[in-house]
Structure 1
Amino acid sequence: MAIPTERDPLINRSAADVDAEDALPDGKRGLGPLELSARSRRGILAGVWMACFLAALNLTLVPTMMPSISSDFQKFHQASWLGTAYLLATSTFTPLYGRLSNVMGRRGANTTAIIFTALGTLGCGLSRNMESLIFARFIAGIGAGGIFTTSSIIVSDMYTLRDRGLVQGLASCFNGLGMGLGGPFGGLVTDMFGWRAAFLVQIPLFAIALMLTSYNIHYVTQGKSKSAKEILKRIDYFGSLTLLIATSSLLVFLSTKYNESLPWSDARVIAPLVLFVVFFLFFLWVEVAVAPEPVMAPAMLSQAVPVLISASNFLVGACNFSVTYFFPMWFQVVLLQSAGTAGLHLAPNSLSMSTGSVFAGWVMHRTGRYKKLNLIFGIFPFIGILFICLMREDSGPIQSWLSIIPLGFGNAVVLQTMLIALLAHLPASQMAVGTGFGQLFRGLGQVGGVAISSAIFQARLDTELHKRIHTPGAEELIMRIRRSATVVHELGPEQRRLARDSFIVALKTVYVFAACLTFLAYCVRLPIPDQDLDKAHASRMATTENSSNLGTGAGAIAGSSDTSRSPSVAPQVRAEDGDESDTQGVRGRGGADTK
């Protein structure tokens, strides 16, 4: 039997795998993520950013297409689930990819995410009924959450903490661009070629993103490889399932109780509420006592900084999506503008988010700090929502178009600084899991923001309409107005005025709710301490190298002035192989460096 050499793989591979690996340029073999060539980095970034753009595009793609889709399938009452299903899947499966990045490797997890999103998008374009379309949106959402998480992890691998903020800021430009173009793109393509084309045209772009990442992600990470059987055993199936059922039950409860105005005694209200409580408790039990690799990472809950950052992510996500879904309605219903013009009022928000992300990254890159940046610009979202709350029917174009800019800019700064703060306070071994943990609460905040703000809006709108409308057939008219805002345009002058006044009160209630969320988020972030990013990165690298030396029995590595580029002596696996460094520390194998 041949004696293994330092060039042998850590796990057995098939002949096809060996041939494929041999086809790689020698410069890519054994390189750590910080040692990749500029060409490889550009290829990886192009792939993950293109995938992020498409995933973000699908977040806001559907609203402008709903009239056409509903017309085809004659099921307008189910149309809201097209957006909810995508968000629900994204929030539920996002944290799973933090674990998958460890057990499958970076390339494997990213590839899985892109394939799921592409298949779901293809299924949307080929759907023949509303039920299959909603299911396809759910499948696409499963992958979209993974795209956002794996892209953050991959960028975190390739750059130091100080550089990472700038690169993540550039990445957020693509996210903001995707979200900003989703509505106009969906409406334009639907008008020209039909709503199916808006989904199908994305498939070639997903293929390009998949090819770029699959070819270029071949760096090595420290850890211990796992077989396919071990990988499947470590996935937290029950945690994901119970979280999905609990979140879905909560959404159904909010929809039946407040959107449909059913009484508390109705079984359709009680049943989902009971299911939510039962499965949420079951989810907590699975995560704490059963799952070997829990998606929620309970260990994070014992650390103050990850908890505070996750709470901020939840509140910021809820605030963003509360405004995103209800800000255009002011212009469509209160000012009686077209749906296209109302949607364009979100464009300044997308542009300001992109600008804020790059600005935050640039400042952190220049200063190596994030605390002061967060303190100053973190209050901007609250100021922006105050401007929105003060809008009137006769407000000029400056307030109508520019009020939302501080909201987008400030929240972009917050999200960038909090991501870097989270990574700076975690050891390198917990980076992937920590990223998934933070993304979990951000996703739950997005779903919660839409669901809770919708419940608040519907409850207040119902109250205001009943105060004002007392004509014969009032109940039927009120229900029609609540189910479709376009009905307001069809009313007579007197009834239209009453409906618009009711919408003004209901919408401002939602804006006040969003203002409370963002102010609470600012307060939550105040105790988070500052760190010098260069020192934090050096400390992370030193901890990793010390753990590696203990595992291999090697002596201590001499100090280096550039620890971010120091070669590791720990066992390494390629980015497409799994490792368990994030959950169990770097384990030595007693062998030579695989580089």
Structure 2
Amino acid sequence: MVLPSVAAVYVGLMIAAIDSTLVVSLIGPISSSFGASDRAFWISTSYMLSLGACSPIYGRLSDIFGRKSCLLWATIIFGLGTGLCTMSPTMEFLILGRAVQGIGAAGLQPASAIVTNDLIPLRRRGMYHAFGQLVYSFGFAIGGPVGGFLNDWLGWRAAFTMQIPPILLAFFMILFFLKLPNLPITREQHAKEVEMKGKPLYTVIWTRCDPLGTTVMVAAVVTMLLTFSLVSVYDLAWSDVKVWGLLLIAAVLFAFFVLIEARWTREPIMPMRFMTQWSYTSIFLSYFIISTTQAMLFYLPFYLIVVMEESTSEIGLRFLPISVATLSSAFTVGSLLRRTGQYRTMAIVMTILSALSPAWMATWTAKNRPSDASQFLAVVPAGIGGSGLNTILMVALFAVAGQQDSAGAVGLVYLIRTSGVIVGISALGSIIQKILIVELNKRIHGKHADQIINLIRKNLNAIATLPSKQRQAAKESYGIALQSFQIIIVGLSLLNLVIVFFIKERPLSGRMEPQRPTNDEEQEAQS
């Protein structure tokens, strides 16, 4: 029962992974075909917003209506979004299709972790998460090349059309092969099911799905992520009224959401213990920080292009070691978890390894250029540490959450990871730009200084065409800006080390049994 069920879920996971990078290679052709390059960023942003906002919702829905039903509906919604993208007559229609795809992917991506939790004992779960990471990484890696090939061969619409058969395969595999056990439930859960039995669907949704809290949460998440996306894409200053105004609205919405969940909701979509118990918040905070520090890999090519003057193909080779390190670490950690049943010490080691890469790269400047071996090896600790810590945190979360909270906790993790990536790229990117402007102003003077500085900031490829003196100024400025950026990443990694140090160790059972909260936690939750 286990292998066919896991395989059925992983097919949907791979489709979502392929789609996430497939579209990146199509942004140029799509925006050009509609003559709407100024709105190109919405192709990815609409997907990310709906993915992040809807991930926690699927956790609650799967607890009420069942994992299988929600997975089937997520696959249908993803397929509907794909069909809308295929037939889109305008850019706005395609952006709508991408948003619908994101809603479907919000159910497909967390499903592998949720279903694995239902089927596999805690000790063995790390290996299955590692295999899920392999599936996702493979889909993520081939999405871009597949999209580029299909665009060159048949046009960008074919890249969406070709996804329909795999989506149908995923739907029927989930329908026929996904078999889940009847898991034990608490008396409270049983009482709720008995109370709702025979009630109309809208009554069940209104009573158990927390519609008010869900609506406010989605509005808050979309407002926050949209703000950071606008800062990143349009280079808005944080003092801009549109930026701090939207952040203020998001803060008010989040505060209102917490009030709803704490005071007014019978079955909150996000239980208060997620925010008040350190056993949960430590894991969520750690997930947010490691997602934010992934900006290190996003901005590393800036250094390689400007300072090292490397080509795109050479930069791609620099990232090959981190792919190998990521997968190797996930399987190694999964194997150790199975053998030892302990994770806290490993989590500390992995967090230290994550800090080594930015510390190493913080020594790179325009004058202190790294060797080829250093460029290859510097990213390896980040790959080992980040991948291993992700696997450990997921197992630690299940050890804390138990069966009752597992789906909701996983949905929240995917929201946190999406938010962390967007916040890291936009907020830390803004810091890079501020330092870069200061350094360029120190080095470039004259009549056209402002135009040259603007060109250097916004067009990396144009730097190679500048006179040697200005090109050297650009190299030195980028070197200092990215060095400062790496130092910030080191600081965040050390903060994460403090958080991970205080994560509580829980026994990992080798049998399928519900994990119950401790008496201390029950008293803490009641108080």
The interval holding the TM-score normalised by the smaller chain is 0.7 to 0.9
Structure 1 position 268 matched with structure 2 position 242: yes
Cα distance in structure 2, aligned partners of 1:465 and 1:127: 43
Secondary structure at 2:105's aligned position in 1?
Answer: helix
Cα distance in structure 1, aligned partners of 2:238 and 2:3: 56
Residues 179-190 of structure 1 aligned to structure 2 (within 5 Å): 179-190=140-151
Cα distance in structure 2, aligned partners of 1:489 and 1:130: 34
TM-aligned CA deviation for residue 379 of structure 1 = 1.3
TM-aligned CA deviation for residue 181 of structure 1 = 3.1
Cα distance in structure 2, aligned partners of 1:116 and 1:485: 39
Q: Is the 8 A contact 2:436 2:478 kept in 1?
A: yes
Report the more deviating stretch, 328-337 or 524-533. 328-337
Residue in 2 that maps onto 1:245:
219
Residue in 2 that maps onto 1:398:
373
TM-aligned CA deviation for residue 501 of structure 1 = 3.0
Q: Is the 8 A contact 1:149 1:435 kept in 2?
A: yes
C-alpha distance 101-430 of structure 1, shift in aligned 2 (>3 A)? same
Q: Is the 8 A contact 1:383 1:406 kept in 2?
A: yes
Cα distance in structure 1, aligned partners of 2:387 and 2:509: 23
TM-aligned CA deviation for residue 525 of structure 1 = 0.9
Which residue, 191, 197, 203 being the options, matches 2:164? 203
Cα distance in structure 2, aligned partners of 1:69 and 1:489: 28
C-alpha distance 289-323 of structure 1, shift in aligned 2 (>3 A)? same
Q: Is the 8 A contact 2:120 2:512 kept in 1?
A: no
Alignment deviations for residues 27-78 of structure 1 (CA, whole Å, 9 cap, x no partner): xxxxxxxxxx3xxx22222221122122223333344444334433444443
Residues 207-356 of structure 1 aligned to structure 2 (within 5 Å): 207-219=168-180, 220-223=182-185, 224=190, 225=193, 228-233=201-206, 234-254=208-228, 260=234, 266-320=240-294, 322-356=295-329
C-alpha distance 341-540 of structure 1, shift in aligned 2 (>3 A)? same
Code of the residue aligned with 2:110 in structure 1: it is T
Residue in 2 that maps onto 1:508:
483
Cα distance in structure 2, aligned partners of 1:475 and 1:462: 10
Q: Is the 8 A contact 2:49 2:225 kept in 1?
A: no
Cα distance in structure 2, aligned partners of 1:298 and 1:326: 36
Secondary structure at 1:427's aligned position in 2?
Answer: helix
Unaligned 5+ runs, structure 2: 519-527
C-alpha distance 231-86 of structure 1, shift in aligned 2 (>3 A)? same
Cα distance in structure 2, aligned partners of 1:346 and 1:49: 25
Report the more deviating stretch, 118-127 or 209-218. 118-127
Residue in 2 that maps onto 1:440:
415
Structure 1 position 72 matched with structure 2 position 72: no
Cα distance in structure 2, aligned partners of 1:392 and 1:50: 43
Code of the residue aligned with 2:449 in structure 1: it is A
Cα distance in structure 1, aligned partners of 2:362 and 2:471: 22
Cα distance in structure 1, aligned partners of 2:405 and 2:514: 14
C-alpha distance 255-317 of structure 1, shift in aligned 2 (>3 A)? closer
Residue in 2 that maps onto 1:455:
430
C-alpha distance 164-443 of structure 1, shift in aligned 2 (>3 A)? same
C-alpha distance 269-290 of structure 1, shift in aligned 2 (>3 A)? same
Residue in 2 that maps onto 1:588:
none
Code of the residue aligned with 1:499 in structure 2: it is A
Q: What RMSD in Å do the two structures reach over aligned CA positions?
A: 3.0
Structure 1 position 124 matched with structure 2 position 85: yes
Cα distance in structure 1, aligned partners of 2:374 and 2:458: 29
Secondary structure at 1:54's aligned position in 2?
Answer: helix
Cα distance in structure 1, aligned partners of 2:33 and 2:442: 36
Which residue, 71, 77, 82 being the options, matches 2:43? 82
Which residue, 352, 360, 365 being the options, matches 2:333? 360
Secondary structure at 1:426's aligned position in 2?
Answer: helix
Cα distance in structure 2, aligned partners of 1:487 and 1:120: 37
Cα distance in structure 1, aligned partners of 2:311 and 2:170: 35
Cα distance in structure 2, aligned partners of 1:243 and 1:477: 43
Secondary structure at 1:486's aligned position in 2?
Answer: helix
Cα distance in structure 1, aligned partners of 2:314 and 2:249: 41
TM-aligned CA deviation for residue 149 of structure 1 = 1.7
Report the more deviating stretch, 440-449 or 73-82. 73-82
Residue in 2 that maps onto 1:3:
none
C-alpha distance 124-517 of structure 1, shift in aligned 2 (>3 A)? farther
Unaligned 5+ runs, structure 1: 1-36, 544-595
Report the more deviating stretch, 401-410 or 388-397. 388-397
Which residue, 90, 94, 106 being the options, matches 2:67? 106
Report the more deviating stretch, 69-78 or 91-100. 69-78
Alignment deviations for residues 194-233 of structure 1 (CA, whole Å, 9 cap, x no partner): 4333333222212211111111224334455556334422
Cα distance in structure 1, aligned partners of 2:204 and 2:67: 13
Residue in 2 that maps onto 1:496:
471
Q: Is the 8 A contact 1:104 1:231 kept in 2?
A: no
Residue in 2 that maps onto 1:147:
108
Larger Rg: 1
Cα distance in structure 2, aligned partners of 1:445 and 1:47: 29
Residue in 2 that maps onto 1:421:
396
Code of the residue aligned with 1:241 in structure 2: it is T
The number of aligned residues is 504
Secondary structure at 1:391's aligned position in 2?
Answer: coil
Structure 1 position 164 matched with structure 2 position 125: yes
- Percent identity over the alignment is 28
Secondary structure at 1:500's aligned position in 2?
Answer: helix
Code of the residue aligned with 1:140 in structure 2: it is Q
Cα distance in structure 2, aligned partners of 1:407 and 1:193: 38
Q: Is the 8 A contact 1:59 1:182 kept in 2?
A: yes
Cα distance in structure 2, aligned partners of 1:81 and 1:70: 10
Residue in 1 that maps onto 2:525:
none
TM-aligned CA deviation for residue 329 of structure 1 = 2.8
Structure 1 position 376 matched with structure 2 position 349: yes
Secondary structure at 2:259's aligned position in 1?
Answer: helix
Residue in 1 that maps onto 2:139:
178
Residue in 1 that maps onto 2:9:
48
C-alpha distance 327-261 of structure 1, shift in aligned 2 (>3 A)? closer
TM-aligned CA deviation for residue 255 of structure 1 = 5.5
C-alpha distance 350-138 of structure 1, shift in aligned 2 (>3 A)? farther
Q: Is the 8 A contact 1:87 1:446 kept in 2?
A: no
Cα distance in structure 1, aligned partners of 2:223 and 2:517: 46
Alignment deviations for residues 268-319 of structure 1 (CA, whole Å, 9 cap, x no partner): 3443233223222222223323344333322222322111111111111111
C-alpha distance 245-421 of structure 1, shift in aligned 2 (>3 A)? same
Code of the residue aligned with 1:271 in structure 2: it is G
TM-aligned CA deviation for residue 490 of structure 1 = 4.3
Cα distance in structure 2, aligned partners of 1:64 and 1:382: 31
Cα distance in structure 1, aligned partners of 2:147 and 2:307: 24
Cα distance in structure 2, aligned partners of 1:481 and 1:79: 22
Q: Is the 8 A contact 2:31 2:37 kept in 1?
A: yes
Alignment deviations for residues 419-461 of structure 1 (CA, whole Å, 9 cap, x no partner): 1112112333222223223333233222222222232233333
Cα distance in structure 2, aligned partners of 1:408 and 1:160: 26
C-alpha distance 405-260 of structure 1, shift in aligned 2 (>3 A)? same
Cα distance in structure 2, aligned partners of 1:257 and 1:171: 33
Alignment deviations for residues 74-93 of structure 1 (CA, whole Å, 9 cap, x no partner): 44443334333333222221
C-alpha distance 457-214 of structure 1, shift in aligned 2 (>3 A)? farther
Cα distance in structure 2, aligned partners of 1:536 and 1:308: 26
